[in-house]
């Protein structure tokens, strides 16, 4: 059974903008996939369909064989965790600990089980010593890690990261990479950061104008100059994917 199956997904915003056209995507359990494309390609729109933030006009989404529909929405949202581009969109409680507790507590987790989830999530992102600090007193990189912890406490199966390296300095990017690589989760990473995508994900999916235009090994996609140019993707100056680890 696949971790994720998207079939024939189509979506238009209320203003009539058609954002997705017949999108098909399958991910195996434990797979890490980079979702690449220019601004406006439909990447975030697709990501928001994976746990029901947006409702498709046509097509279907299955997570671990469970269909995304109203009756299954609570379980789907536990299984598929989205970490937004701005951590301040996810952190709103007086302390780090309370932010991490919020999700599982709303699922009915209490007592020692809740304490264990908080402890494990903090440990996974290296933020145990900051449990009682207000999130707004943390650095941006630390807030990004806490945002990851808030969804790990839900014990998800799929982690969707929207521009995980946005506004991070090189050291914070390196710390986050270590955290993400240590997680035993299926991962979809929406990113413009080509070197990071190559480091983190063996497979890449390219979107443009609401459609998937390429799907294959990340290194091969980045080495295809015609494909990259056609989809308005650019590598950093001097970066050669054929020589990168």
Q: Using CA atoms, how far apart are residues 101 and 153, in angstroms rounded to an integer?
A: 7
- On whether residue 245 sits in a domain, the answer given is no
Q: What mean pLDDT is predicted for residues 166-194?
A: 95
- On whether residue 29 sits in a domain, the answer given is yes
Looking at the predicted structure, is the pLDDT value of residue 4 above 70? Answer: yes
- On whether residue 111 sits in a domain, the answer given is yes
Q: Is the pTM of this model over 0.85?
A: yes
The structure tokens listed for 36 are 């690449």
The pLDDT of residue 18 is 94
Q: Using CA atoms, how far apart are residues 175 and 241, in angstroms rounded to an integer?
A: 22
- Residue 244's pLDDT band, with cuts at 50, 70 and 90, is low
- Residue 13's pLDDT band, with cuts at 50, 70 and 90, is very high
Q: What mean pLDDT is predicted for residues 219-232?
A: 96
- On whether residue 243 sits in a domain, the answer given is no
- On whether residue 135 sits in a domain, the answer given is yes
pLDDT in tens, 20-42: 999 999 999 999 999 999 999 99
- On whether residue 96 sits in a domain, the answer given is yes
Sheet holding 32-36, edge to edge: 80-83, 158-162, 186-190, 32-36, 203-208, 211-217
> 206: domain range?
4-238
Percent of the chain with pLDDT over 90: 95
Q: What is the CATH number of the domain that holds 17?
A: 3.40.50.300
Q: Using CA atoms, how far apart are residues 120 and 152, in angstroms rounded to an integer?
A: 9
Query: What total of structural domains would you count in the chain?
Result: 1
pLDDT in tens, 37-75: 999 999 999 999 999 999 999 999 999 999 999 999 999
pLDDT in tens, 74-127: 999 999 999 999 999 999 999 999 999 999 999 899 999 999 999 999 999 999
Cβ atoms of residues 235 and 222 within 8 Å: yes
The pLDDT of residue 245 is 55
Phi then psi dihedrals of residue 6, to 5 deg: -115, 125
pLDDT in tens, 127-152: 999 999 999 999 999 999 999 999 99
Q: What mean pLDDT is predicted for residues 8-18?
A: 95
Q: Using CA atoms, how far apart are residues 160 and 18, in angstroms rounded to an integer?
A: 22
Length of the chain: 245
């Amino acid at each position: 059974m696949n971790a994720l199956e998207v079939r024939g997904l189509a979506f238009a915003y209320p203003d009539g903008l058609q954002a997705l056209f017949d999108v098909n995507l399958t991910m195996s359990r434990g797979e890490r996939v980079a979702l690449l494309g220019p601004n406006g390609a439909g990447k975030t729109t697709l990501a928001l369909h994976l746990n029901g933030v947006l409702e498709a006009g046509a097509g279907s989404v299955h997570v671990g064989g469970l269909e995304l529909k109203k009756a299954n929405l609570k379980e789907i949202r536990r299984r598929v965790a989205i970490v937004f581009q701005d951590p301040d969109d996810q952190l709103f409680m007086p302390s780090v600990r309370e932010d991490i507790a919020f999700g599982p507590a709303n699922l009915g987790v209490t007592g020692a089980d809740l304490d264990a989830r908080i402890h494990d999530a903090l440990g996974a992102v290296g933020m145990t010593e900051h449990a009682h600090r207000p999130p707004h007193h943390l650095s941006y990189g630390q807030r990004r890690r806490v945002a990851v912890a808030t969804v790990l406490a839900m014990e998800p199966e799929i982690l969707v990261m929207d521009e995980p390296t946005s506004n991070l300095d090189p050291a914070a990017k390196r710390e986050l990479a270590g955290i993400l690589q240590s997680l035993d989760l299926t991962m979809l990473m929406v990113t413009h950061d080509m070197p990071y995508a190559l480091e983190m994900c063996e497979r890449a999916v390219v979107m443009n104008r609401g459609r998937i235009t390429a799907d294959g090994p990340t290194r091969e996609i980045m080495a295809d100059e015609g494909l990259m140019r056609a989809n308005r993707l650019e590598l950093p100056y001097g970066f050669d994917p054929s020589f990168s680890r």
